[in-house]
Amino acid sequence: MNGTVELTIAQSQLPAGTRRTLRLHRTGSSPNADRLFHFDLLGESDAPAPQVLDGFLLAVLFLVMADGSRVRVHGALTRTALYNFEEFQRAWACWCPTRYSPVEIKPDQIVDILPPRWQDPRAISLFSGGVDGTFTALRHRHGLAGDASYPLSDVLLVHGFDVPLARPDAFERLLRRIRPTLDELGLRVRLLRTDLKELSGQYWEYSFGAQLAACLHNFSHEFRYGLMGSSEPYDHMVFPWGSNPVTDPLMSGDAMRLVVDGTPFSRTEKVEVVNRYATPTRTLKVCWEGPDPERNCGHCEKCLRTKLNFMAVGNERPACFDEPLDIDAISGMQLRFPAQATELETIVEYAQRQGRHGPWLEALQRKLTAYRSEHTRASMLGRAKRKLRSLLRAS
C-alpha cells in the first residue's frame, strides 16, 4: 500500500463545450505533484455536473491498482459500481498478480439510483469506424437482434485514443470518412476529447476497455446503456485482454450499464454483416498505423487481417481498401499479441466452414503454423529461463 490518493472532479466551460477535470492528489504531497486528466464534451455546453463518479474512478483504476494506493473519492459512487469494481479488481489481480493489486475504495457517499419507469432507456455506442463498432451500429439500428436490439440512438467518437490529440485535423478527416454510415443509420454523433491515454501511462492492452467505458460514463446522465463492440468471440477467448465478457459488465454502475456487444460472433462473422451494406463497407476504417486517418493503409497487420476477413466472406475487393490483398504479404504479418493469432485462426475456421479455398487461405495456414512453432519455442525458452533463475536463487 502506497498511501492514499484523493480523486476529485471539477467541471468548467470551454468555447468548444464542457470540460471535466479529474485530479489525483496524493495525501501529504505538494499540489504541484497532482495528476490531471481532462474529458472535453465537445458541443455539449449544457452538460450537467456529474452526480456520481463511477466512470471517473474507472478511468484511473488500472493506475491505482498498479500503484497500490488506497483511493478516496470526493463525491458519490453508486452501490452497484462499488460492488462491481471490487470484483473487477480481483479478476485482474488474478490474471496479473505481479502487476495489479486490489485497492480500497472509500467514496464520500454511496448512492442507489433507480431509473424512473418513464425514463427513455436509450443507448449510446462507442464508434471509431472499425468492424466491431460498425457491426454493433448495424445490428441494433436495423433490429438484427429482434426484440433484444438495444434502442441505439447515438454514437460516441473519442479523440485522444486512436488519433493523437496533436492531430485535430486527422480527427476531422476520420469523422468525415465515417459520417456517411452514421447519417445513413440516423445516428447522432457525440464527440469527446481526452488526454487520459496519453498522460495516464496505463498499459493500453489491459486498460483500454476501462478507459473507453469511462468515456461512455460521461454520458450516463442521458443514456441508460453504453455499448462496447466485443473483441474475441466466446469460443476463442483470450485472457488477459482489455475488453472481455468477464470483466466488461463489471464496469457498470447504477447510472449506466456497460454492455459488451457481439461476443457470440467472430470478426469474420461481423464482416459478413457489414459486407451486406454498401456504405458501411466503403467507410469502414480499421487502420491505426497508417499516416492518413482518412484511409486504410492496406499494409499493416490490422488492414491485412481485415482483407482476409473479407476474403473469407467472398469479397476479394472491399471498397474500404484501395488495393486488393497481396498474398505474399501474409507471411510477413507482425503478430504482437496472442489475440491477433486467434483472430487469424477464426478466419481459417470460417473459410473452411464456407468451403472457401485458394492460395490466400494456404498462405494464411502456413503463417499460423510458423507462428505456433515460434510461439512454442519461445514458451519453452521462457520456462527454461525461469527454472534456471529458480535454481540459482535456491543455491
What are the tens digits of pLDDT across the range 7-37?
999 999 999 999 999 999 999 999 999 999 9
Alpha-helical runs (H) found in 53-130:
54-59, 61-67, 79-95
Q: Model-level pTM?
A: 0.92
User: Cell 469511462, residue?
Assistant: 214
- Coil, strand or helix at 17: strand
| Residue 392 confidence (pLDDT) above 80 | no
- Cα 324 to Cα 315: distance, rounded to the nearest angstrom: 10
Say yes or no to pLDDT of 378 above 60: no
259 strand-pairing partners: 227
Are the beta carbons of 329 and 319 closer than 8 angstroms?
Answer: no
Joined grid coordinates for residue 156: 460516441
Report the distance separating Cα 159 and Cα 261, nearest Å.
22
Of 259, 275, 251, nearest to 89 by C-alpha is: 251
State pLDDT tens for residues 214-253: 999 999 999 999 999 999 999 999 899 999 999 999 999 9
Residue 380 has pLDDT above 60, yes or no: no
Residues of the chain with pLDDT > 90, as a percent, come to 87
Q: What is the pLDDT of residue 304?
A: 97
Which tens digit of pLDDT belongs to each residue from 253-296?
Answer: 999 999 999 999 999 999 999 999 999 999 999 998 888 878 99
Could you report the per-residue pLDDT of 317-375, keeping only the tens digit for each?
999 999 999 999 999 999 988 889 999 999 999 999 999 999 999 999 999 999 988 77
pLDDT above 80 (res 4): yes
